[in-house]
């Protein structure tokens, strides 16, 4: 059984002055962590920068402004040129990124075909994880 859904796309980092810089980004979903999505930002200087947050948050953000704190997501525009905005914050600063909304929605649909909504707990192997934890992580 397939355990991962990934997709490469170019996101744009938007500066406060409106300058846009292309950031190659890998969208990654794994059945081992069925509640989360991971965005891997490729940077020639710093290598990969990962951001992990709830798949449900990303899904909600494709329809309406969502999130608070470290991750805020909202859609703008109309098809086929609609955009998804992500505002990511950390103690080191914040980043405003945009991505083509239709591409993100298609990838999310693939994740839901792999692990349907409401069945995320079925994809978790809690017995194995609990056994490892109780055995000192071995």
| Model confidence pLDDT, tens digit, residues 29-58 | 999 999 999 999 998 887 899 999 999 999
- Give the up-direction half-sphere exposure of residue 5: CA atoms within 13 A in the CB hemisphere: 19
Q: What is the pLDDT of residue 120?
A: 81
pLDDT band at 10 (very low <50, low <70, confident <90, very high): very high
Q: What is the pLDDT of residue 99?
A: 97
pTM for this prediction: 0.83
| Model confidence pLDDT, tens digit, residues 50-67 | 999 999 999 999 999 999
- Contacts (Cβ under 8 Å, ≥6 apart) of 117: none
106 alpha-carbon distance from chain centroid: 13
pLDDT band at 92 (very low <50, low <70, confident <90, very high): confident
Q: Tell me if 51 sits within 8 A of 60, measured CB to CB.
A: no
Is the pLDDT confidence value at 80 over 80? yes
The structural domains of the chain, with segments of one domain joined by +, span 4-134
CB atoms within 10 A of CB 8: 13
Assigned CATH class of 4-134: mainly beta
Is the pLDDT confidence value at 124 over 70? no
Per-residue 3-state assignment (H helix, E strand, C coil) for the chain? CCCEEEEEEEEEEECCCCCEEEEEEEEEEECCCCCEEEEEEEECCCEEEEEEEEHHHHHHHCCCCEEECCEEEEEECCCCCCEEEEEEEECCEEEEEEEEHHHHHHHHHHHHHHCCCCCHHHHCCHHHHHHHHHCCCC
């Amino acid at each position: 059984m397939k355990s991962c859904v990934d997709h490469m796309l170019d996101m744009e980092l938007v500066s406060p002055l409106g300058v846009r810089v292309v950031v190659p980004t890998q969208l990654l979903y794994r059945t081992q962590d069925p509640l989360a999505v991971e965005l891997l930002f490729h940077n020639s200087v710093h290598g990969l920068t990962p951001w992990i947050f709830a798949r449900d948050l990303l899904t909600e953000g494709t329809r309406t402004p969502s999130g608070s704190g470290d991750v805020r997501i909202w859609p703008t525009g109309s098809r086929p040129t609609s955009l998804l905005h992500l505002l990511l914050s950390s103690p080191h600063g914040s980043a405003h990124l945009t991505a083509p909304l239709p591409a993100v929605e298609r990838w999310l649909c693939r994740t839901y075909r792999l692990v349907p909504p409401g069945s995320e707990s079925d994809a978790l192997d809690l017995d194995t994880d609990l056994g490892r934890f109780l055995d000192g992580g071995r």
